[in-house]
Structure 1
Amino acid sequence: MASEFDLIRRHFARATPQAVLGPGDDCALVAPSPGQTLAITTDMLVAGVHFFADTDPWRLGWKTLAVNVSDLAAMGARPRWALLAGALPAADESWIAAFTGGFFACAERYGVDLIGGDTTRGPLTVSVTAIGEVPPGAALRRDGARAGDDLWVSGTPGLASLGLAAARGRVRLDAALARRCRDALETPTPRVELGLALRERALAHSAIDVSDGLLADLGHILECSGLAGEVELATLPAAPDGVDPMLWRDCLLAGGDDYELVFSAPPEARPAIEALAQALALPLTRCGRLAAAGAPATQADAPGFGLAAGAAPLRVLDAEGRPLVLTRRGYDHFDQEI
């Protein structure tokens, strides 16, 4: 049986051109680009909690890195390095080879060097620390949103959660939609190019990636910025053909695992954001707005987005502009399993 260090040499060792010293010593050494600050994030994925134990290992490898790269994208940071730690039930080299194939495919796509990590025996768990760079004071932070900002979301949130519902047998999907949803769940696309463009062109005031649900993650922006907000359901993607509208609404608003970006931007940035959507071939949907907590809206061209004094910090309006009563707003790691 291969030893821990044999496994590392065979499957995890790669050239690290962006590092001063890569794996093989007690620490890696990196040199940030001149004039840059480091953005650092970590995420853990646990079998039975974040993914099915029989998930294709290539896809799991991709997702393991992608969810961390997504955090960097949300702050407008450029991905550079990653460290990987994992607990494996057994030294299954075919499984490990497939996992690292997906991991390094994602790393190559987003310009990431794997500079170190650790392995041990245990219940299947993988954890990544990802490191990126962003100019000082330029990161897209959750506390940067401003009253009067538009709310935007990228892509099609809800597909990953719909894929999970199908995997659980809650819904039957036609073959094409099932593949699309499964891909969204298992091989998400970090919106790095979008995050960089929003930051470099000074288009957005704040951003967050959708990991726990659109409403739950948007709520973090509102809390950190001390604002209230409204989302207009009718502006968001409609239910795919044959999918129950109530199930789709739950997937769309509270499903999570999309890794799309939700961001706030001033109204005057609308033309530039619409042009950016065309340039990236990525749908960017204006779905709501922000206001001072408890303050009424005054923007004439945004009917239905008024916030009455004492209103809830985050409301969702139906097609007639009436607030919806929602029982679930996102994923809770201590309340739910996959």
Structure 2
Amino acid sequence: MEFLETGKLKPDFLEALLGKIEITDKRVVVGPGIGDDAAVLDFGENYLIVKSDPITFVSGRIGWYVVNVNANDIAAMGGTPRWFLVTILLPEKHTTISLLEEIMGDLRRSCGELGIALIGGHTEVTHGLENPILSGTMLGEASREQLIKNDRIHEGDVLYMTKGVAVEATSIIAREKKDEVIERFGEEFYRRCLAYLEQPGISVVQEAKKACDAVEVSGMHDPTEGGILSGAYEMVRASMMDLELELDRVPVYEETRTLCEYFHLSPYGCIASGSLLIAVPHSECEGIERAFSTGVQVFPSLTRVGQFTKSGGSMYVTQEGVRKALRPSGKDELTRIL
């Protein structure tokens, strides 16, 4: 008997499973599929955008994570996150009142910062868990003009990414490997890595809005498990366009590179919330680069990393002068150490 590996399902297998789902409701604008971040329903003048996502890699700051990763997916569709529900599953004999208060505090603060109403959910202590698991459902809205779908990516569109790669992974590795990281690199380095959760931060809501306000956006995607490689490939499958991805252009922050080298991980395959992939027509390149060049920038804000070339649905990756076709498995690098 063959068992499935930890992490996302392989894209081809998932695509086949989702292809068997029949949608007969004409109000479903975007249903299940690879490459778009959320479902979309027609509610008259506006679209309702709905996303569900769990947090399974981490145990600390889990309330902060679950709000932000779900809000990111709404924003990547061109929408504004509005309402949030969360299911909180807690391990028996390991859950204290202070732990639950910490989780609820992070939920309240993160929702408050993004202007989201926390409207409901479910909480219980569950048999068989080692760590808390949170699963969120975010609802947002967009006008008909605002909606972004990755099947609208065209030949010649340029691919940008915001911030650097593996922002979320940097914070997760430090938090989950605390003692080892401190022993090897020191307390100050450890705290810098933890701070990646908020600076440069795992939210891309403002970046998505900035891009959509500045230029005509063809497509956007919030890369999560499997990193930028899986995220870019999901855009390829949604658009059925070929993509030339230049990995040498992808920013890797110092702390990220240090941790990945130490734990023998590829930063390009590590969970990547905090980065946003944005596809724009070539004619909009100057506009989006100008929009992201303003203000104080502690971290690189926008980098051109590739281009969609023609119909086909394949991804070609170039690194250190070597070009090869790549079909990521979807398995995240962090599963090797966590």
Q: TM above 0.5, one fold?
A: yes
How do 1:276-291 and structure 2 match up within 5 A?
276-279=291-294, 281=297, 283-291=301-309
Amino acid at match of 1:139: L
| Structure 1 portions without partners, runs of 5+ | 1-31, 295-311
- Residue pair 1:65, 1:103 contacting (<8 A) in 2 also: yes
Contact conserved, 2:181 with 2:190, CA < 8 A, in 1? no
Alignment equivalent of 2:58, drawn from 43, 51, 54: 51
Same amino acid, percent of matched pairs: 22
Alpha-carbon distance in 2 for matches of 1:207, 1:255:
19
Give the alignment of 1:1-338 within 5 angstroms: 35-46=45-56, 50-52=57-59, 55=60, 59-90=61-92, 92-122=96-126, 123=129, 124-166=132-174, 167-168=176-177, 169=180, 172-173=184-185, 175-184=187-196, 188-212=201-225, 213-238=227-252, 240=254, 243=258, 250-279=265-294, 281=297, 283-293=301-311, 313-320=314-321, 322-323=322-323, 330-331=330-331, 338=338
Unaligned runs of 5+ in 2: 1-41
Return closer, same or farther for 1:162/1:120 CA change in 2, 3 Å cut-off: closer
CA–CA separation in structure 1 for the residues paired with 2:135 and 2:148: 24
**Given that residues 167 and 275 in structure 2 are in contact (C-alpha distance below 8 angstroms), is that contact kept between their aligned partners in structure 1?**
no
Tell me if structure 2 keeps the 8 A contact 1:158–1:248.
no
Instruction: Pick the structure with more strand per residue.
Output: 2
- Paired amino acid for 1:289: Q
CA distance in 2, matches of 1:117, 1:165: 29
Write the letter of the residue equivalent to 1:316.
V
Deviations 1:68-109 (A, max 9, x none): 111112112111101111112356321111111111111011
Alignment partners' CA distance in 1, 2:251 and 2:108: 32
Q: Which moved more, 1:181-190 or 1:142-151?
A: 181-190
Q: Relative to structure 1, is the Cα distance of residues 327 and 289 closer, same or farther in structure 2, using a 3 angstrom cutoff? A: closer
> TM-score w.r.t. structure 1 length?
0.72
TM-score normalised by length of structure 2: 0.72
1:217 alignment partner AA: G
**2:166·2:273 contact (CA, 8 Å) conserved in 1?**
yes
The Cα RMSD (Å) is 3.3
Residue 279 of structure 1 aligns to a residue in which SS?
A: coil
Count the aligned residue pairs: 280
1:204 and 1:127 mapped to 2: Cα distance? 30
Would the aligned equivalents of 1:41 and 1:130 in 2 still touch at CA under 8 Å? yes
Flag the 1:270–1:38 CA change in 2: closer, same or farther, 3 A: same
Q: Which moved more, 1:168-177 or 1:270-279?
A: 168-177
